[in-house]
Amino acid sequence: MHFIDKDEIEIRLPDDWQNKIDEVWLYVQEKIQEADAAVRVRAAQEQWSDDKLSCELNKSIASARKKAINAKSDVWGQLSESLSELSFGKCWYCESTELRSDNPIDHFRPKGKVAECPDHPGYWWLAFEWSNYRYSCTYCNSRRVNTDTAGGKQDHFPILPPYTWNKRREDEFIENPILLDPTDIDDVNLLTFNINGEACPNVDDKTSPLYKRAKESVDLYHLNHTPTKNARKRVYQTVRRLVSNINSLSAQNFEANKLTIKDLKTQLHKMIRVSCPSTSFNSAARIYLREFYNSHAWVKDMLDRGY
């Protein structure tokens, strides 16, 4: 997971974005009004009590709103390419590309319901809010169960105490999300990776809220899905091999081997550079390379330059 600047998202919004959103909400409101009218007609015909009418209206309006919002899923789908450009085609949560290639738009605050709060209607008012979108692979966004791992964010949105979710557009509680957010510059530093390719909390205190956030994010984003974990392990092996080969060739005869050394450094540079579209798991590669930071001057130089 690496940092995504929301300002860069806003810059890429189509010029007519707000007009589109206004039109969509008019459509949603029309469907709600139609559902409301239909319930009231039936209530009059069957002589419902006020309590039953209120209950049926609430259910019908919620159902109509959800159906109308889902009918306009192409609206957030229109931003898929722009969001993808910000991460060079990689999932914002796990940094994979082809490995887990079906990349939908995730609503960071789920629009339909919240798994941890049964009476939550979902953050429906954020369904068309661009700042709530995250570019995500299928495994991070959708529920998947394998023989050895399970995960997928789906409708999950756990928060730290106090458990006061915003359940209406008007609510203004200060929520403390547990899930790490790639658009939060501090959150992205709460994850690290071990030599087995596993994503781990980058927090020593296992009793701290930060550790809890990182651990639950690893699980819910399915970051240790076996093929993904193994791919990161191969990244570690490749980084280690490239460093070893560069050092060996430099020690043998730098002048004679300088072109080969330069080529190997270029390969390593691509691995740690987020902006390289042909490589994945760049954050892991940078962490693995940092193992050699203090012992190899050229590694220190490469990392310090901020590639």
Secondary structure of residue 176 in the 3-state scheme = coil
Taking alpha carbons only, the member of 212, 218, 230 closest to residue 192 is 218
Residue pLDDT, tens place only, 101-142: 455 899 999 999 999 999 999 999 999 999 999 999 988 987
Q: What is the DSSP letter of 45?
A: H
**Given the structure tokens 């369904």, which residue do they identify?**
127
Q: Is the pTM of this model over 0.85?
A: yes
- State which residues of the chain have pLDDT below 50: 99-101, 147
**Is the CB of residue 106 less than 8 Å from the CB of residue 140?**
yes
Q: Residue 51: CB partners within 8 Å, gap ≥ 6?
A: none
Residue pLDDT, tens place only, 146-171: 545 556 798 999 999 999 999 999 99
